Each structure stands twice: as C-alpha cells, then as structure tokens.
Structure 1
Amino acid sequence: MLAVTADARAPRVPPAGGPVAVLANPGAGRGRHREVLPEVLRRLRDTRRPVRLLAADTAAAAEQACRAALADGIGALVAVGGDGTVHRAVQALAGTPVPLGVVPAGTGNDFAAGTGFPADPLAAADAIAGALRADRSRAVDLARMTGPAGATRWYGGVLAAGFDAIVNERANRMRRPRGPRRYDLAILVELARLRPRRYTLRLDGEPLELDAVLVAVGNCASYGGGMRVCPAADPTDGLLDVVIGGRFDRRALIRARPRIYRGTHVEHPLVSSHRARTVELTAEGITTYADGERALDLPVTVTAVPGALRLLR
C-alpha cells in the first residue's frame, strides 16, 4: 500500500482517463448484494478505463486505501456499499476534484438516494459508467465537523446528536443479540432511560439553548434507510438543516417516530427546524453519529462546505 503524501488532499485535476478505484464492502446490506460486485466491475471496465479494486478489511483500512489511491493519481472512485462505505470514501475525496460514484448496496443508502443515484445497484453502475465515458461530474455540498482539539470528519448525509446517536452507541456496545434485533433492543433500553438533555447551539453565531431528545444536522434529508429526519435538506444549497425534537416523553416519541419516514414530524409542536451555514453544538455525554458511523464527541462545530464533493452523475 502506498504511503499518503503530505499534499495528497491538495486539489489537483484528476488525470484524463485515469484509473477508477473501487471501494467495496461485501458485507453491506448483510451481504445480499455481494453478487453484484463482479458485474459492477465489468460495466466499469467496459468504459476502457483501468479499474482497481481496493483491498480493505476494516473501516480504518478502507479510509487509508482511498487516501493511498488518491495519492497514486486515480481519476475517480466508486463506492459499492451503503452509507458507511460512502462515508469512508468521502474522508479522502472531500475538497478534491476526484469524483465519486455510488453503487447503493447497503442496508441504508440514504446519501445515494439524496443525491440522485438510481436505487438499483446495476442501474447505478450504468449511470456511473455513462458519466465516466462523458467525463461528466457535478458538485454537491458536504458537512465538515470539527472537534475542540481540531479533529475533523466529513459527512454527506445527517449528523445524529440525540436519542438516535445514544441508541447507536448502546447497540455498538452490545455483543448480543446479533443482527437488527440488537438495535431494536438498544431502542427499548434507551427508551426506558429517556430524558431530555440540555443543548447549547449557535446557528451562524445566534445562540439557542434548550432541552431536547433529538438533534439532527442534515446536509441530505434522510438517514437510517429512509427516515426523512431533515426533510427539507438540500445538498446543493450551501446550508445545513437543523431539526430539534424538544421535551418528548416516551409515549410521544414512540408515536412520532413513524412520521419521520414521511418527514411530517417537523409539523409536531415539539419539533423546530432551522437553517445555518455553521452550527456549534454542545451537550454532555453525547457521541455523534454521521452517515450512521461513529464520529466525534460533543462539542462540535459543523460547517456546510459548498461543492466539496464531485459526483459521477
């Protein structure tokens, strides 16, 4: 594996007709799309571009493989998997002109849906191949998170910083049961412990302090496989959508949860919505999740970065 040079992230024009790197997660979607990878690779190779499959067996290795491929001069990167796979690719590509293609093959494919890739993996591969042949890409925004010590993460979808993040943290600490039942059990455990927490926000410098059980900061509209938590979010408007669920009790939260799939929860009297370019967010004892992946502990500053990522669309 190549070492990443100091200027690997520096903007530079990708080589015309340069190699296409493919980052694939064979376990995405619990393996149900494993068989599509050979066909995706075939369709990409039909563009007459060299195609390189990146080897990575952990999330950290996936990020390193993407950074190394970028330093080696790839012309494009294709992520085959869900939002977690895309999240790893974005850490390398943010702020560079090297475009990303997304083949949605995961449990949650919210970024792909929010940015217009076809839901069918092979249809998405065809769309990406067409963009490669035409040397076509378009820019979308990303969100950049920064912690107090300077740690930085990028995300394309939604940052969860409330009950949803707490449930994810609980589920990730549990060893049993396996599969989706672990997440369901984590919801039950955290519902029993539900309490509003004190949040302090600054939205483009304007202070906001309140008690809440849900705080989401969206570049795109949905997370969790179609839950439209920030239904008005647009990844091309240069803004972040902030949706806050206030002092919900257990019963009210359970009743409101199905409305998130439709995006109508924002009409609830305990829910408020805001838009800002920069969001400063503080609360005690919260580890955030971005694109469904464990991210930074609060406090964080989230900034919308217009046109930070190019997509093969």
Structure 2
Amino acid sequence: MEVRDIRKTYHLPRGQTLKAVDGVSLSVMPGEVLGLVGESGSGKSTLGRCLLRLTDVSSGQIVFEGQDITHLGERAMRPLRQRMQMVFQDSYASLNPRRRIGDLLAEPLRVHPGPDGRKRSHAAITARLHELMELVSLPLSALERYAHEFSGGQRQRINIARALALSPRLIVADEPVSALDVSVQAQIVNLFTDLQTRLGLTYVFVAHDLAVVRQISTRVAVMYLGVVVELGETDAVLHHPAHPYTAALTAAVPRPEVGAPRAAPLGGDIPSPIARPAGCRFHTRCPAAQERCKVEDPALRPVSQGHFVACHFPLTDD
C-alpha cells in the first residue's frame, strides 16, 4: 500500500475544523510490520481506518496492490475487503453478543465468494472455521459459545480469527493489546508474529506502547498532531531517535535495570487539533525549540538511509 498526502478533516459546529490526519505520505511493503505510534489524539487510529477506507479521506491518494482505491464506492470496494481487514481495540464491542462465535466467523465466508468465485458450501465453511480455531489456538467448542463467555485475550483471538477468515494480505491492528494484561499482551503479540510467519501477512500495527512496537515492528512511523514526524527502521528510530518527540517517548519507557534513572516526563499536553500551533506543531513542548520552529513547519526529510524526520534541528548521536 502507498498513501500520498492523505488528509482527513472533520467539520465541526461554529465553523471549526479538526484535522485528524493532516498530510501523511508513506508506504507499507509486502510482509513488513509498520508500527504507528504516538500519544492519544495524534491521529494514528484515524489513519489506520483511512488506509482501509473505513473512513473516507478528505484529500490525497491511497493505492493498494497497484489500484487507486481512494474514491471507490462500496460495491467496487467489496472484493478488496477480502484482502484488507482490521482488528479493533475493544475486543468485546467488536463481537455481537447475541450471536455464537461460529456464526460471527462464518458470516464473511457466506457473504464473500470462495477462491473459485462461487458461493462456499456448508462443508467448506465448516472446514475453514476449524482452520481458524487452530490458527488462533482456541478449541472447537468455542464456536458454540458467546462473547461474554470468554476472557479479553480469548475475545481478541476470536477477532483475529475473523480478520483472517478471508485470507487477507493486509491487516490493520488498532491498539489490539492495550486493554489486556501484560502477560496476555505478550501472548497476543506472539500470536501476531507467528501468524505473519505462517501466512505471509503484512501488518499496520497501531500502538502507544513502545515496548510492544519494538517487539513486533520492522519499521516505525511516529505521529504527532496528524502528521508523521519520524519514520524509519525500528532499531534506528527507537534506539537513535532524530526527533525530540520520539526521544521523549523512548526515554519515558521504564527500564528494568536496578537504579536506572527515571526520564523527565514530556511537558504539557498535546495541543488541540482544532487549533494546532503555527510552525512546527511540537514546538510548544520541545525543549530545543527556536524562533524558526514557531513560524516554519518542517517537512519530512532524510537524515540517513531509510530514516526520515520532520524537524529543523534533528538530534544526532553526538
């Protein structure tokens, strides 16, 4: 997938506008895991929904497998839904509490034709449901139960199974482990990793937990107030951040070493996207901001091979 200068603007009462995504360009390569990170309100979840056309963009272009899908209608998008799926944050709200899990997982198999273009038979659907349960390590008895009978981690496994039902190429996972206990988080992240290896999947993984992003992602895009401020290989971005915002996020991650120094918290709150600051949108919280930062919005530019940053005065290892 490739997105070019996409924007999502919401028009509010009293003539106000909220720019949730404000000019993002990036690519998602086959077989990679692109992590989207940033504070709440940075626009990463909105961007994830725009990628799958669950939310229409206000402008820009989205190209999926060589096809421009930016303005496709629902009928034209329907065949593509098989190849792009989403795993939502709230595992309980994502499941209809009045229907058995087997019915929920079978629904997309009934709606969409099989690989041969024909309607799937009952036997084919049943066989696929058994495959899905094996993929996410749940017993077949789960198909006869309801959502409230499962733990949060089990419900998220069911949501992953539903996303896998039609054998997609791309999965956008929107904070899929944020509501889970730490031990369960690790299990679900390991499941995502195992499935990628087994099925050759591509992920866009939205998260605010950098430890999770470091574990699963091959590249990272750091978002702040609707734009990408840093983009690159995971190790480069998280171990050698070039943007002060990324450096503040990585410094705030707890360190397991005894006596490890505590990082100073990032000062202030993220500004409102309704009235974002002029110039660099991070300058109101940046300890290194200068006059230029207050008037000139920095463009995303390379600082090394494959590593990009939107900052007038990027950090260096020196």
User: TM-score of the superposition, structure 2-length normalised?
Assistant: 0.28
- Please say which structure displays the higher CA radius of gyration: 2
TM-score, normalisation: structure 1: 0.28
Higher strand share goes to which structure? 1
Greater per-residue helix proportion: 2
